[in-house]
Amino acid sequence: MLVKAYASAVHGIDAMTVTVETDVSQGINFFMVGLPDNAVKESQQRIESALRATGYKMPGRKIVINMAPADVRKEGSSYDLPIAIAILAASEQIKNDNIGDYIILGELSLDGSINPIKGALPIAIQAVKEKYKGIILPAENAREAAVVNNLEVYGAHNIKEVIDFFNGENSIEQTIIDTRKEFFEHFDTIDLDFADVKGQENVKRALEIAAAGGHNIIMIGPPGAGKTMLAKRIPSILPPFTLRESLETTKIHSVAGTLPHGSALMTTRPFRSPHHTISDVALVGGGTYPQPGEISLAHNGVLFLDELPEFKRQVLEVMRQPLEDREITISRAKFTVNYPAGFMLVASMNPCPCGYYNHPDKECVCTASQVQKYLNKISGPLLDRIDIHVEVVPVPFKELSLQAKSETSAEIRKRVIQAREIQQKRFADTPNIHSNAQMTSSKIRAYCKLDETCVTMLKNAMEKLGLSARAYDRILKVARTIADLAGCENIQSNHLAEAINYRSLDRDNWGNK
């Protein structure tokens, strides 16, 4: 008897339906076709043990399983459950009246319990598009899939529950999530607050500007100055997720299997901080079976690279294109996968190998050539994509011991949100631009017009401070954001002066002792 069950495969951050065609007929042996990988082929032993543990058995007949489309490679263990259900239905051990109405997914343990899978959210979205009645999947993934409307979601703990469901003997309880309630309950949560940071007012100001305009930023300072502490608090001043951003980010983490246990939606912006020993594939994504990298897991959030010069040069260079395009394309011989990568880059570094160049109290023991060699580990093209350079100096004891409370993240976030609202109106007709940092040359000319005083100031600054030509556009973008924070329609001289101050590493004399 021939029975068709339906599963799903994840390709990039989207899903594709897989038909599990199962034929049980006269003869013996077990055949599985349709480009299954080793994990799929090994399902025979898992299924056999799981069925035996629940009082059922593999039919002692010829079993042929075809996984269509047959020219697409099937990977992973999530096909165990649909294959098992299809075998039982084809051997007439269970009813098959409504098996075709559901997408079925799950990895089987030998005792019949069902283990969680990756990619439940994009699979559920695709199931709705293809008008399936519902989806049956592991209980741990049920809340994640249930954020999708117009789809019945059933989370099963073991294969016996799924068998009873199709036999009509015992219905699995449907998982229902109020998506908007789930989102709005936690979307404004702040874990780390800028109120905890003593001093560093100039750095806080730079981070506020970076958050308001979506600018990439690098902090340069000695060990213990507070660079990491400040960076970890950046998500608390970024605008809260929109529901669209939340779903988009949740999809990526669902595919990567990094969604917190039992979560339905990601409601706070991601903060990713990979170690400097990371490989280029782990950073941007890829591998034999492509998976999202750190830049995609940081989508709509922050990617923090601590001790930037310690990263391998090749690793840093592969970020150049994603920083511009806000997505990464992974190409293989037979397919291409696109992952979103719209993140805010925050980097920190010591000014020299010993860490104490320009320190107010401690003496630097590095030579001028050592300092320059250390700074040259960061290439010009990568530095070109970082709008704001800010120097972080150690906080004096007097400021550390002050009992007065600093400005909270909530107060800073209000100003950031107001600036972002101005930008949303400005770029309403340009779907690919959402913040000042993404402005093209034509947009810079249109929205960053300078009066004669400002033009003279910028000209003098570039000549006297030895600023490179690449600093020109970056200064204008940052000045535009500073003007937005001030609620000014036009860039004024004080806005431009502050923006010029944030180009430390572009100065010709930086690193010369």
Note whether 24 and 1 are within 8 A (CB). Answer: yes
Task: Give residue 298's pLDDT.
Answer: 96
Worst-scoring range by mean pLDDT, 1-5, 233-237, 293-297, 463-467? 463-467
346, β-bridge pairs = 217, 304
Judged on CB neighbours under 10 Å (0-12, 13-18, 19+), 442 is: exposed
CA-based max dimension of the chain: 90
Judged on CB neighbours under 10 Å (0-12, 13-18, 19+), 329 is: middle
Q: Nearest-CA neighbor of 306 among 344, 279, 273?
A: 273
Note whether 390 and 218 are within 8 A (CB). Answer: yes
Q: Cα–Cα distance between 503 and 479 in angstroms, integer?
A: 12
Task: Give residue 364's pLDDT.
Answer: 86
Q: Nearest-CA neighbor of 308 among 351, 348, 352?
A: 348
At 69, list the tokens.
Answer: 């489309």
501 contact partners, CB below 8 Å, separation of at least 6 = none
Q: Cα–Cα distance between 269 and 245 in angstroms, integer?
A: 9
At 144, list the tokens.
Answer: 């994640």
Length of the chain: 513
Q: Cα–Cα distance between 81 and 101 in angstroms, integer?
A: 15
At 120, list the tokens.
Answer: 């439940």
Q: Nearest-CA neighbor of 217 among 282, 303, 312?
A: 303
Task: Give residue 378's pLDDT.
Answer: 87
- Examine residue 69 and say whether the peptide bond preceding it is cis (omega within 30 degrees of 0): yes
Task: Give residue 453's pLDDT.
Answer: 92
Q: Cα–Cα distance between 404 and 378 in angstroms, integer?
A: 38
pLDDT in tens, 43-59: 999 999 999 999 999 99
pLDDT in tens, 247-269: 999 999 999 988 887 778 888 89
Number of other CB atoms surrounding residue 219 within 10 Å: 25
Q: Is 368 left (phi over 0), alpha (psi -120 to 50) or beta?
A: alpha
Q: Are strands 344-349 and 30-33 parallel, antiparallel or unpaired?
A: unpaired
Note whether 374 and 309 are within 8 A (CB). Answer: yes
Average pLDDT, the chain: 89
At 137, list the tokens.
Answer: 């999947």
Strands (E), 52-139: 62-68, 102-104, 107-108, 114-115, 134-138
Q: In angstroms, what CA-CA distances link 403 with 49, 196, 199, 393?
A: 65, 11, 11, 20
Q: Cα–Cα distance between 270 and 263 in angstroms, integer?
A: 14
Share of the chain above pLDDT 90, in %: 60
For 107, phi then psi, to 5°, come to -95, 130
Number of other CB atoms surrounding residue 205 within 10 Å: 16
First to last CA, the chain: 83
For 305, phi then psi, to 5°, come to -110, 100
The answer, yes or no, to whether residue 509 has pLDDT greater than 70, is no
Q: Cα–Cα distance between 209 and 205 in angstroms, integer?
A: 6
Task: Give residue 311's pLDDT.
Answer: 94
Helix or strand holding residue 74 (H, E):
none
Share of the chain above pLDDT 70, in %: 96
The mean pLDDT of 123-132, rounded to a whole number, is 95
Q: Nearest-CA neighbor of 404 among 214, 199, 252, 139?
A: 199
